[in-house]
């Protein structure tokens, strides 16, 4: 695996790989867990070479968020990627990604409204901006993202369409299903912040979502079912529920009832850690 931290070396490395097949990019912020490695393995099935980026992107963290505390473990991450047969690790510093004088921002409206877009103002601008830059830097044939960040995936797909970003693969912005621990909790780098008690209580989140989905599928009205879901989480030790909402899976528009393309989205905080999850509602 070649690790590069500067743009001229990246261009050279990408040119060499490109002369020799297709490239799938897996953008990450590091602290790699099995969820990320699933993306890497999926990428290896779809392209000749896998490139991974590790960049903790300051522009997608709001004030008071965990930018400084965000786990940074490049040596450990690098060993994991090497073992997966990754061809290229792109690990730029902040000064390379946003050199002095940097002044451009990409803002995607519509799909970024509500949910995490409401709770974390500017977050999706930061994501869209860095992902657009990563696409331009690595020029991949395709890129893979986890469906745990479903709204992020919708924002990136919209941005790529709107800005005519050309990624040649037919399924260029490829979503990969959520990887869950045996108790159902979606894998996340932030799970590392949970104490053993909070980790155990956190498994209430996917269970309560499944119950809510079963009720909505049974024809119960969404609003009282979602209120019940919130009470369940607060009763299990969550300190706050940021949102528990039914939305259209593609447009991310709010729904009062299942429209045949519905997804349940939840963000809730436990012991200071914000967990998000989403599940398909429509059978
Ligand atoms: O999902 C993430 O880890 C980040 O939001 C991404 C896509 C790597 C952009 O920084």
What residue spans define the domains of the chain? 2-176, 189-276
Rounded to an integer, what distance in angstroms lies between the CA atom of residue 16 and that of residue 72?
Answer: 29
- By most ligand atoms within 8 Å of CB, the mutation choice from 30, 52, 60 for ligand 1 is 60
Look at residue 167 in the predicted model and tell me its pLDDT. Answer: 83
The backbone region for 272, taken as left when phi is positive above 0, alpha when psi lies in -120 to 50, beta otherwise, is left
Minimum CA distance residue for ligand 1 atom 9: 127
Structural Rg of the chain based on CA atoms: 19
Identify the band that residue 56 occupies on the pLDDT scale cut at 50, 70 and 90. Answer: very high
What pTM was computed for the model? 0.94
Enumerate residues 6+ apart whose C-beta is below 8 A from 43: 24, 25, 26, 50, 142, 144
Looking at the domain 2-176, which fold is it? Answer: Rossmann fold (3.40.50)
Token pair 């104490």 is found at 195
Q: Coil, strand or helix: which one is 162? A: helix
Minimum CA distance residue for ligand 1 atom 2: 28
Rounded to the nearest angstrom, the distance between the alpha carbon of 131 and the centre of ligand 1 is 8
Minimum CA distance residue for ligand 1 atom 5: 127
Identified catalytic residue from 36, 49, 123, 198: 36
Looking at the domain 189-276, which fold is it? Answer: 3.30.1300
- Segment 126-153, tens digit of pLDDT: 999 999 999 999 999 999 999 999 999 9
Look at residue 127 in the predicted model and tell me its pLDDT. Answer: 98
pLDDT at 170 over 80: no
pLDDT at 66 over 90: no
Identify the band that residue 64 occupies on the pLDDT scale cut at 50, 70 and 90. Answer: confident
- Ligand 1 atom closest to Cα of 146? 1
Minimum CA distance residue for ligand 1 atom 6: 28
Enumerate residues 6+ apart whose C-beta is below 8 A from 274: 190, 242, 267, 268
Minimum CA distance residue for ligand 1 atom 8: 28
Q: Is 36 a catalytic residue?
A: yes
Q: Closest Cα partner for 277 from 217, 200, 194, 202?
A: 202
- Segment 8-44, tens digit of pLDDT: 999 999 999 999 999 999 999 999 999 999 999 999 9
Q: Please provide the average confidence, as pLDDT, over all residues in the chain.
A: 96
Rounded to an integer, what distance in angstroms lies between the CA atom of residue 263 and that of residue 248?
Answer: 6
pLDDT at 168 over 90: no
Query: What's the DSSP call for residue 186?
Result: B
Minimum CA distance residue for ligand 1 atom 1: 28
- Segment 252-278, tens digit of pLDDT: 999 999 999 999 999 999 999 999 999
Enumerate residues 6+ apart whose C-beta is below 8 A from 21: 47, 48, 49
- Segment 69-97, tens digit of pLDDT: 888 999 999 999 999 999 999 999 999 99
Look at residue 180 in the predicted model and tell me its pLDDT. Answer: 97
Rounded to the nearest angstrom, the distance between the alpha carbon of 177 and the centre of ligand 1 is 16
Q: Coil, strand or helix: which one is 143? A: strand
- Ligand 1 atom closest to Cα of 56? 10
Q: Closest Cα partner for 277 from 238, 221, 224, 222?
A: 238
Q: Closest Cα partner for 72 from 205, 189, 238, 211?
A: 189
pLDDT at 239 over 90: yes
Token pair 């079912």 is found at 225
Can you spell out the DSSP letters for 8-70?
HHHHHHHHHHHTTS-EEEEEE-S---HHHHHHHHHHHHHSSEEEEEE---GGG--TTSSTTTS
Can you spell out the DSSP letters for 63-96?
TTSSTTTS---HHHHHHHHHHTT-SEEE---HHH
- Ligand 1 atom closest to Cα of 156? 7
Look at residue 153 in the predicted model and tell me its pLDDT. Answer: 97
- By most ligand atoms within 8 Å of CB, the mutation choice from 25, 28, 97 for ligand 1 is 28
pLDDT at 189 over 90: no
Q: Which residues form ligand 1's pocket by a CB distance below 6 Å? A: 27-29, 57, 60, 127, 130-131, 149, 152
Q: Coil, strand or helix: which one is 138? A: helix
Look at residue 283 in the predicted model and tell me its pLDDT. Answer: 86
Mean pLDDT of 236-244: 98
- By most ligand atoms within 8 Å of CB, the mutation choice from 130, 186, 188 for ligand 1 is 130
Identify the band that residue 162 occupies on the pLDDT scale cut at 50, 70 and 90. Answer: very high
């Amino acid at each position: 695996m070649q690790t590069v931290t500067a743009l001229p070396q990246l261009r050279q490395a990408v040119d060499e790989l490109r002369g020799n097949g297709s490239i799938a990019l897996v953008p990450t912020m590091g602290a790699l867990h099995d969820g990320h490695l699933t993306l890497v393995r999926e990428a290896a099935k779809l392209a000749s070479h896998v490139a991974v980026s590790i960049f903790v992107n300051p522009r997608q963290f709001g004030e008071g968020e965990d930018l400084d505390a965000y786990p940074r473990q490049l040596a450990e991450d690098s060993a994991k990627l090497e073992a997966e047969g990754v061809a290229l690790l792109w690990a730029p510093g902040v000064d390379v990604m946003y050199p002095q004088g940097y002044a451009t921002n990409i803002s995607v409206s519509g799909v970024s409204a509500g949910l995490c877009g409401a709770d974390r103002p500017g977050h999706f601008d930061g994501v869209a901006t860095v992902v657009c830059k990563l696409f331009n830097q690595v020029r991949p044939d395709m890129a893979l993202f986890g469906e745990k960040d479903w709204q992020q995936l919708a924002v990136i797909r919209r941005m790529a369409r709107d800005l005519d970003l050309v990624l040649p693969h037919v399924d260029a912005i490829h979503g990969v299903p959520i990887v869950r621990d045996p108790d159902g909790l979606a894998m996340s780098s932030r799970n590392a912040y949970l104490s053993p008690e909070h980790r155990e209580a956190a498994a209430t989140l996917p269970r309560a979502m499944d119950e809510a989905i079963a009720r909505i599928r049974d024809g119960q009205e969404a609003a009282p079912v979602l209120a019940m879901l919130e009470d369940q989480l607060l009763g299990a030790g969550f300190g706050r529920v940021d949102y528990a909402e039914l939305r259209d899976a593609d447009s991310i528009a709010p729904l009062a009832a299942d429209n045949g393309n519905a997804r349940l989205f939840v963000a809730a905080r436990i012991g200071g850690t914000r967990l998000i999850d989403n599940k398909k509602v429509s059978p």
